Amino acid sequence: MKNLNIAVIHGPNLNLLGTREPGIYGAETLDQINKEIEQEAKKCGATTEFYQSNIEGQLVDYIHSCAGKIDGIVINAGAYTHYSIALRDAIAAVNIPAVEVHLSNIYKREEFRHTSVIAPVCIGQISGFGAYSYILGLHALLHALGQASS
């Protein structure tokens, strides 16, 4: 079976995990979460590439750079989820299967967080399971790519 290469993309403010509103986002740091994702991906025969930026254009550029070298994307676009047509269009343009993830349950939060402009170009969305949302997203993506995780 092909060794799949998965990009894990983190949007704005996720670099502050561990200290940013731990009651909402948990106490794990972004580095800790990335290590957990990497370990889980290895168990499933996949490799991971991580990227985080607080700048919308840099996220768009990174998504563009995934074309031809990345098999799937797990993305937590942070606040850009709710209004970045540029990220939505970048995901659609590269035609790489993507799963949207969120640490918190966006539907239990403020009304403006209930809308995702990137969801229509993603194969699915997972929210509300803290850092485990990324693991669930990884497994869902691998399943959709035909590399069912064990």
Contact, 122 vs 100, CB < 8 A?
Answer: yes
Query: Catalytic residue among 25, 51, 62, 80, which?
Result: 25
Q: What angle do CA 5, 104, 129 make, to 5 degrees?
A: 65
* Residue that is written with structure tokens 């069912």 in the block: 148
For residue 55, give Cα distances in angstroms to 58, 110, 125, 126, 140: 5, 23, 22, 23, 27
Query: Catalytic residue among 10, 51, 62, 102, which?
Result: 102
Contact, 8 vs 50, CB < 8 A?
Answer: yes
Is 102 assigned a catalytic role?
A: yes
- The residues with which 75 forms a beta bridge, in sequence order, are 9, 100
Is 143 assigned a catalytic role?
A: no
Residue 83: CB atoms within 10 Å: 16
> In angstroms, rounded to a whole number, what is the distance separating the alpha carbons of residues 95 and 103?
25
Catalytic machinery residues: 25, 102
